[in-house]
């Protein structure tokens, strides 16, 4: 019996090692020079026939390959290819759930409604096979965000080549996430109610609940704190402005109420997430310097009288209004669909935004909104060498074919469970 148990454990460990994510790449020890590629810097600029060099995990040179300068280390000939900064997904629950149908693998939310002290980072699973599948499309970083409740918890930003969450972290506890009440509710058809939208009679009650909670936290933080209350302590950052309050809200009325209410409460470092109808309150957002993390473009209009392509054009409208916009991934199949992040940006590009501005949504803009633009988001000297080489346009699923990829200078594998199956069955049918 004991021998069988030992053999069973060894088998389990062996199989677990087989299906686990690849071993993270070792620290960069040799320098690299990427020569001849069209470099998309992530800030709207493009360098044809570029030269990019990096050493010890940091970019050391960005310029034209015609310049007379000694190449460092291994030279990668990237002529007729393109080089990009690693893409960043905002508002994602990657690593917090693996298989939606298996409850034991889902850790995206907690019981309760006011949970600012819940930290997503300590639940983040670096061994997720879903995360592994992001990298072949150039998605190397994400804001890991909790879900549920009125105040869901605190997010953190990670990179996708790490042994554990401590190694993965780019920025810990970057902001608190709040789900603003919906000003409209949909009738419950199973109770005989009209299934259409109608004003939410509990909308003001929900706002009052938020105001009371934040006011109680402010009173606690100003007091002597004789007894420690973790949920109130967790709001100190958003109240003093050192952390951002990410407000998940849509609709003209909802956005207006959220901005005005939070500012009255002394919360000024605000980011709007989702932002349907944000174009209708662009002046309010611009006046208060409030960024917007948009949803994926591939969705239906919110109301019957909206243009069918308004979701595709919203990025262009907000950009023209001078609002800083990024791209998030919350929604159906959000973890698996995050690999398509560059292609959602590509849709915004096709509907007026343009390729380089669309690229900024998932590079420089997301980095600025998440507070990591000092490290990543653009190809600049001194920033992390988190970048990749593609055979073609990275915002086009037909040509986004990565040949080389680096995270903090480490040359990473682009193999995943999916690529292994693809190769296996491609060979089967070739024979």
> Are 277 and 422 contained in the same domain?
no
Q: List, in sequence order, every residue forming a beta bridge with 54; answer none if it has no partner.
A: 32, 59
In a domain, 10, yes or no: no
Tokens of 349: 């590009």
Burial class (CB in 10 A: 0-12, 13-18, 19+), 226: exposed
Cα distances (Å, whole numbers) of residue 287 to 321, 323, 347, 363: 11, 10, 28, 24
Rounded CA gap, 12 and 33, in Å? 43
Return the beta strands (E) in 214-313 as ranges: 244-249, 270-274, 292-294
In a domain, 127, yes or no: yes
> Are 431 and 286 contained in the same domain?
no
> Are 414 and 280 contained in the same domain?
no
In a domain, 144, yes or no: yes
> Are 232 and 282 contained in the same domain?
yes
Q: In the sheet that 58-64 helps form, which strands lie side by side, from edge to edge?
A: 58-64, 50-55, 32-35, 74-77
User: Which residues constitute the domain of residue 406?
Assistant: 28-84+378-431
> Are 33 and 139 contained in the same domain?
no
Which of 331, 359, 376 is a domain's end point? Answer: 376
pLDDT of residue 16: 43
> Are 231 and 142 contained in the same domain?
yes
In a domain, 346, yes or no: yes
Which of 376, 393, 417 is a domain's end point? Answer: 376
Determine how β-strand 139-144 pairs with β-strand 151-159.
antiparallel
H or E element at residue 214: helix 203-222
Dihedral of CA 415/418/421/425: which sign? negative
pLDDT of residue 6: 52
CATH number of 267's domain: 3.20.20.140
> Are 275 and 257 contained in the same domain?
yes
Which of 338, 354, 376 is a domain's end point? Answer: 376
pLDDT of residue 167: 94
How many domains does the chain divide into? 2
CA angle 386, 298, 376 (to 5 degrees): 15
In a domain, 126, yes or no: yes
Q: List, in sequence order, every residue forming a beta bridge with 74; answer none if it has no partner.
A: 32
pLDDT of residue 4: 55
pLDDT of residue 262: 97
Give the Cβ contact number of residue 132 at 10 Å.
Answer: 22
> Are 229 and 372 contained in the same domain?
yes
Dihedral of CA 52/377/361/44: which sign? negative
pTM value > 0.85: yes
In a domain, 364, yes or no: yes
Backbone angles phi, psi at 164, to 5 degrees: -150, 180
> Are 46 and 161 contained in the same domain?
no
> Are 277 and 232 contained in the same domain?
yes
In a domain, 190, yes or no: yes
Rounded CA gap, 192 and 187, in Å? 8
> Are 41 and 126 contained in the same domain?
no
Q: What is the pLDDT along the chain (431 residues), one digit of tens a residue?
A: 456 555 454 444 444 444 455 688 999 999 999 999 999 999 999 999 999 999 999 999 999 999 999 999 999 999 999 999 999 999 999 999 888 888 888 888 888 999 999 999 999 999 999 999 999 999 999 999 999 999 999 999 999 999 999 999 999 999 999 999 988 777 777 777 777 777 888 899 999 999 999 999 999 999 877 788 999 999 999 999 999 999 999 999 999 999 999 999 999 999 999 999 999 999 999 999 999 999 988 888 887 888 888 999 999 999 999 999 999 998 888 898 999 999 999 999 999 999 999 999 999 999 999 999 999 999 999 999 999 999 999 999 999 999 999 999 999 999 988 888 888 898 888 76
> Are 263 and 149 contained in the same domain?
yes
CATH number of 47's domain: 2.30.40.10
In a domain, 16, yes or no: no
């Amino acid at each position: 019996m004991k021998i069988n148990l030992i053999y069973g454990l060894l088998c389990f460990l062996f199989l677990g090692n087989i299906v686990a994510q690849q071993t993270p790449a070792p620290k960069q020890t040799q320098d690299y020079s990427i020569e001849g590629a069209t470099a998309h810097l992530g800030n709207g600029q493009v360098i044809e026939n570029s030269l990019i060099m990096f050493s010890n995990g940091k970019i050391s040179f960005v310029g034209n390959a015609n310049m007379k300068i000694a190449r460092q280390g291994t030279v990668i000939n990237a002529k007729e290819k393109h080089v990009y900064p690693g893409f960043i997904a905002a508002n994602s629950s990657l690593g917090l759930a693996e298989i939606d149908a298996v409850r034991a693998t889902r850790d995206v939310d907690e019981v309760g409604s006011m949970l600012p002290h819940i930290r997503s980072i300590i639940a983040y699973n670096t061994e997720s096979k879903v995360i592994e599948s992001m990298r072949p499309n150039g998605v190397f970083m994400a804001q890991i965000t909790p879900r549920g409740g009125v105040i869901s918890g605190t997010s953190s930003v990670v990179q996708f080549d790490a042994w554990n969450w401590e190694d993965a972290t780019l920025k810990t506890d970057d902001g608190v996430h709040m789900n603003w009440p919906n000003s409209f509710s949909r009738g419950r058809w199973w109770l005989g109610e009209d299934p259409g939208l109608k004003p939410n009679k509990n909308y003001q009650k929900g706002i009052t609940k938020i105001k009371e909670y934040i006011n109680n936290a402010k009173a606690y933080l100003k007091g002597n704190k004789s007894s420690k209350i973790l949920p109130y302590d967790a709001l100190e950052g958003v109240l003093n402005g050192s952390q951002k309050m990410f407000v998940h809200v849509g609709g003209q009325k909802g956005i207006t109420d959220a901005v005005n209410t939070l500012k009255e409460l002394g919360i000024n470092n605000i980011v709007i997430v989702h932002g349907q109808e944000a174009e209708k309150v662009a002046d309010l957002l611009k006046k208060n310097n409030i960024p917007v993390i948009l949803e994926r473009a591939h969705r239906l209009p919110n109301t019957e009288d909206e243009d069918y392509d308004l979701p595709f054009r919203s990025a262009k409208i907000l950009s023209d209004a001078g609002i800083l916009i990024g791209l998030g991934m919350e929604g159906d199949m959000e973890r698996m669909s995050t690999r398509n992040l560059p292609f959602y940006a590509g849709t915004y590009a096709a509907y007026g935004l343009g390729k380089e501005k669309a690229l900024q949504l998932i590079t420089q803009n997301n980095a600025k909104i998440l507070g990591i633009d000092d490290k990543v988001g653009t190809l600049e000297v001194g920033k992390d060498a988190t970048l990749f080489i593609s055979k073609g346009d990275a915002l086009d699923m037909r040509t986004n074919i990565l040949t080389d990829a680096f995270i903090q200078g480490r040359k990473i594998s682009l193999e995943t469970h999916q690529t292994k199956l693809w190769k296996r069955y491609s060979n089967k049918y070739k024979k």
